[in-house]
Amino acid sequence: MKTVKHLEKQPALDKLKELAGEARLCMFNTRLCGAPFNTRPMVTQSVDDDGTIWFFSAADSSLNLDIARDDRVQLIYSNRSALEFLSIYGTAEIVVDSAKARKLWNVYLTAWFHEGPEDPNLTLLKFKPLEGYYWDTRHNKMIESLKIVVGAIKGKMMNNGLEGKLSVN
């Protein structure tokens, strides 16, 4: 059985920063009112102390078009190696800030933005979290796997993690 632990304000921000920062890769969902909504993989560039999450995106992308129409988005993180998962709902803003782009820049981004952080097609996405839900293990993957096996043998669910709502405001 999982332990449910809802977190608010700073503890919620700390959990968000921990899980999003470690997983780095997320599924970025837009058009949440439509069916199906649009989903694409995105790499987290930075998580600020206030929970703001930064991404790079092309100005002419369908992602930016979706955000311009409706800024409500959902991010889903999965860190399978640590058995940690996070779903966050919030708003996204398209930002053009060459100083911030230079600060977050890494060489791998050249594959998408050939002119570097000054590429005219480069924008930043600034995600502001509103609420979320997390699933986290208390131990490493090996111990959690052993607990599942022991639970199956005993016919009894072992306490195998934490989950809860994140309220950042």
DSSP 2: P
Query: How far is the C-alpha of 67 from the C-alpha of 72, rounded, in Å?
Result: 7
* CATH of the domain spanning 8-136: 2.30.110.10
Domain boundaries defined on the chain:
8-136
Tokens 């997390």 belong to 134
pTM value is: 0.86
pLDDT in tens, 46-63: 999 999 999 999 999 999
Which two three-digit tokens encode residue 43?
């790499």
Mean pLDDT comparison of 32-41, 73-82, 122-131, 158-167, highest-scoring range: 122-131
